[in-house]
C-alpha cells in the first residue's frame, strides 16, 4: 500500500490527476523547511471561522462608519472655529485702530491746550 509520494515537479492545472498526492507533497516540503503546518487539509472552510470573520468585518464596517461620522462632525466644528478665529482677528484689528485713534485724540487735546503747538 502506497501512503503518498512526491512529484519531482508540480504542474499547475485546474484539476490535478492525483490531488491528495500533490497536497501531501506540499505539506512534506513545508515540514522539511521546519515550518509548523497542518498535517492535513480540510477542503471546506470552517463555518465558525467564516462566521467569526464575517462578524469581525461587520464590526469594522460599523467602526468605520462611526469614525467617518465623527470626522464629519469635527470638520464642521473646525469650520466654525475658523470662522470665529477670523471674526476675532477682525475685532482685534478694530480695537487696535480705535486705540491708535484715541491716543491721537489725546495728543491733539494736549497740544491744543499748550501755546506753541
Query: For position 67, what pLDDT does the model report?
Result: 95
CB within 8 A of 112, min separation 6: which ones?
none
Are 27 and 39 in contact by the 8 Å Cβ rule? The answer is: yes
Query: For position 13, what pLDDT does the model report?
Result: 59
What would the pLDDT profile of 88-97 be if each residue is shown by its tens digit? 999 999 999 9
Element (H, E) at 20: helix 19-32
Would residue 29 count as lying in a domain?
Answer: no
Would residue 19 count as lying in a domain?
Answer: no
SS3 assignment, position 36: coil
SS3 assignment, position 2: coil
Residue-by-residue DSSP string for 42-62 = -SSPPHHHHHHHHHHHHHHHH
Would residue 117 count as lying in a domain?
Answer: yes
Confidence of residue 17 (pLDDT cuts 50, 70, 90): low
Would residue 58 count as lying in a domain?
Answer: yes
Q: Quick check: pTM over 0.85? A: no
State how far the Cα of 12 lies from the Cα of 19, in Å rounded to an integer: 11
Number of domains in the chain: 1
Would residue 26 count as lying in a domain?
Answer: no
The domain in which residue 75 lies consists of 46-117
Amino acid at each position: 500500500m502506497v501512503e503518498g509520494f512526491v512529484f519531482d515537479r508540480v504542474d499547475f492545472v485546474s484539476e490535478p490527476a492525483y490531488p491528495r498526492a500533490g497536497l501531501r507533497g506540499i505539506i512534506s516540503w513545508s515540514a522539511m523547511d521546519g515550518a509548523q503546518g497542518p498535517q492535513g487539509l480540510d477542503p471546506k472552510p470552517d463555518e465558525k471561522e467564516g462566521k467569526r470573520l464575517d462578524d469581525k468585518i461587520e464590526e469594522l464596517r460599523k467602526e468605520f462608519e462611526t469614525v467617518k461620522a465623527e470626522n464629519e462632525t469635527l470638520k464642521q466644528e473646525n469650520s466654525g472655529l475658523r470662522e470665529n478665529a477670523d471674526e476675532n482677528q477682525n475685532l482685534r484689528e478694530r480695537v487696535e485702530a480705535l486705540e491708535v485713534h484715541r491716543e491721537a485724540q489725546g495728543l491733539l487735546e494736549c497740544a491744543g491746550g499748550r501755546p506753541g503747538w
